[in-house]
Structure 1
Amino acid sequence: MKQAGTLFLLFSLALLSCKDGKNQNYLPTSVGAINSMVVVIDNELWKGNVGDSIRSHFAAPVVGMPMDEPLFTIDQIAPKFFTGSVRNTRSILYVVEDSLNLAHIKSDMYASPQRVGVIKGTTKAEVIENIDAEADEIIAAFKDMEIEAAQKRFNRSLNKETELQDKFGVKLKIPSIYKVGKQEDNFVWIDREIQKGTANIVVYEMPANSFDSDSTLVKDIVAMRDSIGAKYIPGPDVTGKITHMRTEPAFAPYVYPVEIAGLKGVEVRGLWDIKNYPMAGPFLTYILNDKVNNRKLVLEGFVFAPATQKRNDLFELEAILKTLKIESLAK
């Protein structure tokens, strides 16, 4: 009898496990435009200081852009309307004045992939305090998910060109709409047309001992970008003038620590322009310390699209660069 009871218990657990697995599989695919989110919050809170706090974090201007563009495009909805397909939104922030004081992130509650930031407080002041304390973590979770979602879309049709592998021993998942436009011994330029302009990727390498001084790091990064621009990225022909890409001299770039594909380095965000010609736009550069190959590997994305929003185009370039894989060097 004891053995039969044990078998019955195991059988019951197996059924429950299968049931749970089916429930997880039945989660619908999440929806939402890139870098968009839904804020579920009472209308009164949204119009007051609580809403102001949310907007100050989640709609803050993206760093290094020529015009103000928010981190996320926000749609606000009252809790009573948070039903049906709206629950399948990829990024959700649920904010409520409640009997509890807490803040956390939940995954795949109504759809997959999905992140739901939940912020509660017993008073408006507590709600705002929790927003201020947890916003950075929630933003990072939303952004990581957006990056992964974009990278999955790339797999539908990938560029098969091998120049990056042949010259630098690296691979990137690049959509097939991008094409190699220029290549030299230490430089590959890949681009595609976008609305009113182009989205661009350049890859090159620097000596391993580059950027050894923290005190001159920003200055050295600007010097590197300007020298590469002068050598490889010319501007339009202007009689009697030299034109080429450079770092916009009026604005110092922003520099942050980063790690990609196991390589530590820095992320650089700022503005580029064309010397002696009215062209400009945002750039994103990763300078990675590749000790195995005795070099600094440089990956950069930049956008040219005058008088249009560029946030999502630069974000796509970021997602591409973060697919980096180091392969064996062919050279």
Structure 2
Amino acid sequence: MKNFILLLFTAFLLTSCKDEPNVKGLSDSSGNINNVSVFIDEVMWNGQIGDSLRKKLAAPVDGLPQEEPTFNINQYPTKIFDGFVKKGRNIIVVQKTDKTGFGASKDQYAAPQNVFYISGKTTNDVLNIIENKASQIIQTIRKGEILENQKRMKKALVNDKNIKNRFGVTMNIGYGYNYETINDKFIWLRKEYQSGYNSILVYEVPINRIENQNEIVQNIISIRDSIGKANVHGMLDNTWMITEEAYAPYLFTTTLDNKPAFLTKGTWELKNDFMAGPFINYAIKDTTNNRYLIIEGFTYLPSKAKRDHMFELEAIINSAKIID
């Protein structure tokens, strides 16, 4: 088995630079969203190497009110790396061998699929590779999971003509979302669950509302709080959505639809009420139209895990394309 893995690893080092589309003839990959299969022997899994992998792959997701891991990890011994377990969408194989190296392969046993190989002569060799390559592995898996989520949603899309007509943007919005509010400057879609809901907001502001003398995060909070007061109300009188004041949101720079964007993650709450939950806010710079297009997702699911619901919202938002 060890020689077999080494041969595969060598092949990946020669071909990992290729980024081929899904290969015809491969079976569909399997697995829930945000699940990773790690093939590693028990001794390593229960030691420093396993601790390092768990620390990286299961780190808490930013912006959630309770700690939830970035990925769910399923650990298997390397000797069973065969058959149906090779059909997982996200696979990491870790071994101690007489060679040290890292390899990555796309769509080897199924499609879509990402497989990563980590090998080292010593524990420190393996730990160094994990430390140096973890960010790449996580980014690759997240990108693939967003694409997988978008693919699943495409099977039953909600008509986005209202968003297209008012804001000049198309989005792949999955089944179950209904228009809650539609006006010329604001759209709210909501997907109801038995014990809560997911929401998507779409609106726009002039570029100078975000880029001025104040800090970017302060401007984004001020904008979303004013939008919440005007448009997002609770069941009780005199209640509206605001950014939770007790915790500062996370702010990142990113790109969406090949345009610069600010990504804000934090927690919302209802003023004068007890409802709250996480939100994710993308402010996309659209210089052609002298605006920031803002697309936000937030969820309300008390006492429930929220990571995958927020990930669905992120996948929807990342499908946005501004019409030139």
Using structure 1 for the length normalisation, give the TM-score: 0.89
Q: Give yes or no for contact 1:303–1:310 (8 Å, CA) kept in 2.
A: yes
Aligned to 2:248: 252
AA matched with 1:29: D
Distance 2:317 2:213 in 1: 24
AA matched with 1:126: D
Query: After superposition, where does 1:80-229 map in structure 2 within 5 Å?
Result: 80-213=79-212, 216-229=215-228
Q: Return the offset for 1:194.
A: 2.6
Give the percent of matched residue pairs that are identical in Structure 1 and Structure 2: 38
Aligned to 1:309: 305
User: More deviation in 161-170 or 71-80?
Assistant: 161-170
Distance 1:194 1:250 in 2: 28
Q: Return the offset for 1:209.
A: 1.3
Distance 1:245 1:24 in 2: 47
Which of 321, 324, 328 aligns to 2:320? It is: 324
Q: Return the offset for 1:185.
A: 2.5
AA matched with 1:320: I
Going from structure 1 to structure 2, the CA distance change for 1:42 and 1:214 (only over 3 Å counts) comes to farther
What CA deviation, in whole Å up to 9, does each residue of 1:247-288 have, x standing for no partner?
110111111111111221111111111112111111110001
Q: Return the offset for 1:80.
A: 0.7
Aligned to 1:15: none
Aligned to 2:46: 47
Query: After superposition, where does 1:234-313 map in structure 2 within 5 Å?
Result: 234-238=233-237, 242-313=238-309
Distance 2:310 2:193 in 1: 11
Distance 2:214 2:39 in 1: 45
Q: Give yes or no for contact 1:87–1:110 (8 Å, CA) kept in 2.
A: yes
Q: Give yes or no for contact 1:236–1:277 (8 Å, CA) kept in 2.
A: no
Q: Return the offset for 1:163.
A: 1.1
User: More deviation in 212-221 or 52-61?
Assistant: 212-221
Aligned to 1:17: none
> Runs ≥4 in structure 1, deviation > 3 angstroms?
none
Q: Which runs of 5+ in 1 are unaligned?
A: 1-20
Distance 2:192 2:213 in 1: 37
Distance 1:251 1:116 in 2: 37
Distance 2:23 2:309 in 1: 33
For the residue of structure 2 that corresponds to 1:292, the secondary structure is helix
AA matched with 2:125: E
For the residue of structure 2 that corresponds to 1:277, the secondary structure is coil
For the residue of structure 2 that corresponds to 1:319, the secondary structure is helix
What CA deviation, in whole Å up to 9, does each residue of 1:147-195 have, x standing for no partner?
1111111221111242101211111011232111111221000011134
Q: Give yes or no for contact 1:60–1:71 (8 Å, CA) kept in 2.
A: yes
AA matched with 1:130: I
Q: Give yes or no for contact 2:23–2:111 (8 Å, CA) kept in 1.
A: no
CA RMSD of aligned residues (A): 1.6
AA matched with 1:294: N
Aligned to 1:14: none
Aligned to 1:230: 229
What CA deviation, in whole Å up to 9, does each residue of 1:293-314 have, x standing for no partner?
1111000000100000011111
